[in-house]
Amino acid sequence: MTEVRRVQSGSPWEEAFGFARAVQAGDRIVVGGTTSFKGDVLYGEGDPYEQTRVAIGNALEAMGELGAGAESVIRVRIFLTHARDVDEVGRAHKEVFDSVRPVMTMAVVSGFVDPRILVEVELEAFRGAPA
């Protein structure tokens, strides 16, 4: 049986809703919807580029607790509240993942649990041996 490891980030939503920030099962790591909140402070309020940059950093920090980094990421999902922000969100994504080239989905949604949130990021990573 594969060991499952979980990482908590301290988000109040994790406790209230009963979920982990990241889960590793075997060679696979998944990071749930991550925003630019650190504790109760939202970084980059009103700035989609900064929110994306911080959210990706927060997600990678959780992966780091499981011994993985950006080079292990194979899928990125980005949810944003305004189509007008696509270029700024994409720019922040490229700065981190340009050399990695994971698959990416970017979707516009109607909103998040806090209306100040403009961007939420999910990551999937694989740590298996190269083929």
Instruction: Delimit the domains of the chain by residue range.
Output: 4-126
The phi and psi torsions of 109 (rounded to 5 degrees) equal: -120, 165
For 4-126, which CATH class? alpha beta
Q: Are 29 and 72 in contact (CB under 8 A)?
A: yes
- By the 8 A CB rule, do 125 and 29 touch? yes
Query: What is the value of pTM for the model shown?
Result: 0.92
A 10 A CB-CB count for 30 gives 16
Pick from 5-9, 90-94, 124-128 the range whose average pLDDT is largest: 90-94
Q: Do the beta carbons of residue 31 and residue 64 sit within 8 Å? A: no
Residue 9: name the closest of 46, 76, 52, 54 by CA: 54
Q: Write out pLDDT tens, residues 40-91.
A: 899 999 999 999 999 999 999 999 999 999 999 999 999 999 999 999 999 9
